[in-house]
Amino acid sequence: VLASVTCSAPVNIAVIKYWGKRDEKLILPLNSSLSGTLHQDDLKTTTTIVASESFTEDALWLNGKKEDINAVRYQNVLNAIRSRATKLTDKKHFVHIASINNFPTAAGLASSASGYCCLVFTLAQLYGVDGDISAIARMGSGSACRSMFGGFVKWEMGQKEDGSDSVAIQVQPEQHWPEMNIIVLVVNDKKKETSSTDGMQKSAATSVMMKERCAVTVPQRMKDIEEAIKNKDFETFGDITMKDSDDFHEVCATTTPPIYYLNDTSRYIINLINRYNKASGSIKCAYTFDAGPNACVYLPKDNVVEVLSLFLKHFPGQDISTYYRGPKENIAAIE
- The contact set with ligand DP6 (CB under 6 A) reads 14, 17-18, 27, 33, 110, 112, 141-143, 196-197, 290-291
Measured from the Cβ of residue 258, the count of other Cβ atoms closer than 10 Å reads: 12
Q: 156: helix, coil or strand?
A: coil
- In terms of Cβ atoms closer than 10 Å to its own Cβ (0-12, 13-18, 19+), residue 288 is buried
Q: Provide, rounded to whole angstroms, the least separation between the CB of residue 277 and ligand DP6.
A: 23
Cα-to-chain-centroid distance, residue 85: 26
- Any bridge partners for residue 169, and if so which? 154
Closer by beta carbon to ligand DP6, 134 or else 141: 141
Find the residue with minimal CB distance to ligand DP6.
Answer: 142
Closer by beta carbon to ligand DP6, 112 or else 181: 112
> b or e along 102-120 (b: 16 or more beta carbons within 10 Å of the residue's beta carbon)?
ebbbbbbbbbbbbbbbbbb
Closer by beta carbon to ligand DP6, 141 or else 330: 141
Q: Provide, rounded to whole angstroms, the least separation between the CB of residue 151 and ligand DP6.
A: 16
Q: Provide, rounded to whole angstroms, the least separation between the CB of residue 144 and ligand DP6.
A: 6
Give the ranges where 70-209 is alpha helix by DSSP (H).
72-83, 111-127, 134-140, 196-206
Q: What is the DSSP string of 274-310?
A: HHHHHHHTS---EEEE-SSS-EEEEEEGGGHHHHHHH
Q: How many helices (H) and strands (E) does the chain have?
A: 9, 15
Closer by beta carbon to ligand DP6, 183 or else 200: 200
Q: Round to the nearest angstrom and report the end-to-end CA distance of the chain.
A: 15
d(CA 190, CA 210): 28
d(CA 181, CA 254): 32
Q: Provide, rounded to whole angstroms, the least separation between the CB of residue 290 and ligand DP6.
A: 4
Closer by beta carbon to ligand DP6, 50 or else 270: 270
Q: Provide, rounded to whole angstroms, the least separation between the CB of residue 281 and ligand DP6.
A: 31
Q: Provide, rounded to whole angstroms, the least separation between the CB of residue 117 and ligand DP6.
A: 11
Closer by beta carbon to ligand DP6, 143 or else 303: 143
Q: Provide, rounded to whole angstroms, the least separation between the CB of residue 292 and ligand DP6.
A: 8
Closer by beta carbon to ligand DP6, 125 or else 141: 141
